[in-house]
Amino acid sequence: MTASDQTQAANQMWGGRFAEGPDAIMTAINASIGFDKRLYAQDIAGSRAHAAMLAATGILNPTDADAIGEGLLTVLSEIEAGRFDFRADREDIHMNVEARLTEIVGEAGKRLHTARSRNDQVAVDFRLWVRDQCDAAIAGLTALMRAFVAQAAAGADWVMPGFTHLQTAQPVTWGHHMMAYVEMFARDRARFVDARARMNECPLGAAALAGTSFAIDREMTAAALGFDRPTANSLDSVSDRDFALEFLSAASICAMHLSRFAEELVIWSSAQFRFVRLSDRWTTGSSIMPQKKNPDAAELLRAKLGRILGATVALFTVMKGLPLTYSKDMQEDKEQAFDAADSLMLGLAAMTGMVGDMTANREALRAAAASGFSTATDLADWLVRRLGLPFREAHHVTGTLVAMAEKKGVDLPGLTLAEMQSVHAGITDEIFDVLGVENSVNSRMSYGGTAPVRVREQIARWQAALG
């Protein structure tokens, strides 16, 4: 396209207000078609609903409305077939679609924009797209939760160490550890469900910022697009991006949870831990060290949080200083959201695959659970229950026994009864029942505890909930 053609195209778009066409650099910074073409399906759906409403209210004659509806379907098929010519001089997806529509149906295409603005048009397109991403995240999280529940069911009573500060703390079960992530990702799913419900209001009809003098039916377009109701304030309708911020915030928390388990997989699959084996589908080799099996998928998942959280901060920064209503700054809302959504969906799919494929090493888990004085708390609790010691005194006695075992190079069960009685004469041989890791986890019967019977109750609850 020549410079004169660009000038003519710009003048056609803006009418007689501007005598000169845009500078090439201005065109480059102003155009968003390079990324907002992803909104084509939502843009066409919104335009079809708008045209149908204009016809139903008598604002547009039925013949023109039918032509517009069919023409928009033609545009949709061209885009999906890869035959559509996206042009930067038409700036964005809205003008690209409308211009092509007018080429197809003629004068009727120019009537489509009656009683709307690009401000409410982009607001409804973007809201529809984010709503779709919420649905995708909800489905992805459901699949991931099912994978964790399956792992929990396979090893509900397998003993493993529980950690604080990445130091052995108390014995827990594999099933209990897996179910912790089910609860975590359930909260993520609930956040997306909640955000979706709050964003499900239709801004179409707010026009540029003040509404329109045409007798439109906003309830009709809202219903046609699957919204619960139209938005209640036209100023807020075109300037609101809370729905995108909520999606990004929920995505950031979810990605943080993915990152936490990815970190555990990196640690657990190491030669030092050997808690799990990741399948070849999610690992790579080394270019120089033939023995290596690197958990690259888990490591990349850790890094995805940075991109998603960065997108969240970026959009907050864009929005924080904007007066009502629309400002061109808001064109910068989409690339971050697109990238974050892509990263989140990829991360959910990858983690679901890794969790489904991983194999836990039951023997290594139990051996680690039995080391590191993991039943010290059980010993202290026994001293309180059986001997009536105040807990602080029992804590001191137990600490002395741990120091004795450490000096001797054994774990607590490796001490003799005589050695234990040298610290407190009231200790009996019943203590050795308490010091077994299986007995320890079986005793944790409080609601939400690690006892296998409690774990299986939670597994059954979630199996029923997830279907």
Active-site annotation, residues: 165, 286
> Helix and strand tally (H, E) in the chain?
20, 6
Over 63-101, what HEC string results? HHHHHHHHHHHHHHHHHHCCCCCCCHHHCCHHHHHHHHH
Rounded distance between C-alpha atoms, residue 60 and residue 69, angstroms: 12
Which single residue is written with the structure tokens 């799990």?
Answer: 276
Rounded distance between C-alpha atoms, residue 107 and residue 183, angstroms: 57
| Of 334, 119, 78, 398, the residue nearest 234 (C-alpha) | 119
Rounded distance between C-alpha atoms, residue 428 and residue 405, angstroms: 17
| Of 247, 246, 252, the residue nearest 309 (C-alpha) | 252
Inter-helix orientation angle 242-268/334-357, to 10°: 30
Alpha-carbon 200 to chain mean position: 19
Q: What is the DSSP string of 144-163?
A: HHHHHHHHHHHTTT-EEEEE
Q: Which residue type does 304 have?
A: K
Beta-strand runs (E) in 207-265? 229-230
- C-alpha to C-alpha distances, 384 to 140, 378, 380, 436, nearest whole angstrom: 47, 10, 6, 18
